[in-house]
Chains A and B, each alone.
Chain A
Amino acid sequence: MNNLLSIQNLSKSFGGNQAVDAVSFSIQEGSIMGLIGPNGSGKTTVLNMLSGILQADSGSIKLENRSLNGLKPSKLAKLGIMRMFQMTRVFNRISAFDNLLISGQALGLSFNDSVAKADQLMQELQLEHVKFLDAGELSGGQKKLLEFGMCFMRSPKLALLDEPFAAVHPKMRETMVNFIIEKNKIGHTFLIVSHDMPIVQQLCQECICMSTGKVIASGNTKSVLSSPEVIEAYLGDDHV
């Protein structure tokens, strides 16, 4: 497999707080990578830099050897990097179906192609019964599924998912997991930030653990989750 995304020495500080400190890793095409770590470890800041919401102080981000530094989120989305937020960001005052249509058209699909794709995604994500409700009327889990769909209106090269399973009903979580597995089977690449370790173990072949802005472990998910540094970061040194 080829490297899809390479990150070298990525750093970001806010005032005196070094949120991300010289982080380097790469994601292989067609893989599912987990990004774990305790709260405040810098995971979301990394995703914010990868999706263009924040600009890195230093370091490089490359997608298939093309530098992404300084690009706006909209440009990155068009290049195939789609972001799903921890606090869902859907368009509340229009129908769920319109949310998908707008996302499709923003990514360059025609209206008719967007309708066809939106119908397909509504079925896959089991949202058909709510597709004409305003997005603001959906439950938290349904909104997450909807944002999932918005990211997949045009096959992304890399989907960045920030806490997709947090506060979601188990049935919907299952739908999401199956969706990720199915999309991964046809070659989609994912970077998933999650605190849900069983799901991380189930989905991610590889995993990175961050603590206080640094990568403290990376590699095979099972070995990362059992590494003493990771256990210490999550539970404190009494449990090592």
Chain B
Amino acid sequence: MIKTLSISNSKLWRNRLKFDFWSLLIVLLLMCFLPLLDLSDYTLGILIVAMYLAIVAMSWNLLAGYCGQFSMAPAAFAMIGGYIVGLSDFHAQLSLWISVPLAIVGTAILGALLGLTVTRLKGPYLSLTTLSFAEISRVIISNSHEYTRGDQGLNVPSMMNDRLSYYYFFIVLVLLTGVFIYWLMRSKLGGFLLAIRDDQEGAESKGIDIVFYKLVAFTISCSLCGFAGAMYGSFSQLVSPEMGLLQQTGLVISMVVIGGIGSLTGPVIGAILVYLGSEWLREIGNIQMIVFAFVVIIFARFFRTGIWGFCLGLKQRLLQNHHE
């Protein structure tokens, strides 16, 4: 009886996560109905890119929001994933059925190798090392004309013929990423990541091998970014060094902060709103970055839990009022 009572409370991590997961399902379900509004191919394209960024944001959130490791290389790993697919086609004419798994495994191995160095670092040192890695890999790709065609980019074969199919395909990809992260965070690994986020020394003294679990989180996060990049390459039929620009990482971070760091649904909401906003502000050029930086500062100062946290707080208040 006690056991049943203890694990049924909504404040337990497992139950918070379950609520978060159901909310993600609802958001994705709502997105399934958007094409009924007779959206143009252009708008569908924007939403597809937003969902690509949502997967990168969810992957970064796994590392930063759940494990407290602030990597500055999510866009770089997406670019590398895209390039593995592009290079496989350009040099070996491999089909996507082979090159996409190669991108997942390749970025996982690269992520693990980088992780072996950075998981022993803390705070700004981890961020600076990953930032350096991101810039170095982008510059290498950009300057290796012989193999990568430099800034011209590489063509990637397409998987589908029309944007609507891609739209639903990306909804499924976001869903699969969500299910995977939900499953991961529901397991004991998820609990260990939360413990590491909250207090590394405390976690280690309670029996958690922090270097190993940070490495696991780092590898999975990089691999998911690589997967997203590979899929985006297939949609846009082009991968270029621009995918790995630091600006892209900034965009991903602002999506997570605005949507709600440390949640499943927040990064998806953030990705859609921020990317739609960025398209809306496209006319004002680079000033849009100032607008986003300003919005991130406002959120970081006044709404640290982002839109998702704000919604949870609202739900809490409504429930309280209902009980009173």
Contacts and interface: CB of A to CB of B under 8 A. Distances in A.
A92 B206 CA distance: 15
A91 B191 CA distance: 10
Interface of A: 51, 53, 72-75, 77-78, 82-83, 85, 89-95, 97-98, 101-103, 105-108, 111-112, 115-116, 118-119, 131-134, 150-151
Contacts of B197: 93
B9 A107 contact: no
Given A78-B207, A89-B199, A102-B192, A112 B3 contact: yes
Nearest to B202: A89
Contact of B12 (A89, A105, A106, A132): A132
B205 A91 contact: no
B113 to A, nearest CB: 22
Given A89-B205, A95-B11, A106 B195 contact: yes
Contact of A132 (B9, B191, B210): B9
A73 B204 contact: yes
Nearest to B210: A74
B205 A102 contact: no
A158 B205 CA distance: 13
A101 B191 CA distance: 8
A232 to B, nearest CB: 34
Contact of A51 (B9, B205, B210): B205
A118 B6 contact: yes
B201 A53 contact: yes
Contacts of B195: 91, 102, 106
Given A97-B12, A102-B195, A91 B203 contact: yes
Given A91-B199, A118-B6, A119-B6, 6 more contacts: A77-B204, A91-B194, A91-B203, A103-B207, A116-B3, A132-B12
Contacts of A131: 6
Contacts of A73: 201, 204-205
Contacts of A82: 205-206
A82 B206 CA distance: 7
B2, B192, B195: most-surrounded residue (chain A CB, <10 A): B195
B206 A119 contact: no
A94 B205 contact: no
Contact of A74 (B2, B188, B204): B204
Contacts of B11: 95, 132-134
Contacts of A118: 6
A119 B201 CA distance: 25
Contact of A83 (B3, B9, B191, B205): B205
Nearest to A90: B202
5 contacts: A51-B205, A82-B205, A91-B198, A92-B199, A105-B192
Contacts of A111: 188
A84 to B, nearest CB: 9
B211 to A, nearest CB: 8
Contacts of B279: none
B13 interface: yes
A42 B90 CA distance: 64
B202 A93 contact: no
Contacts of A53: 201, 205
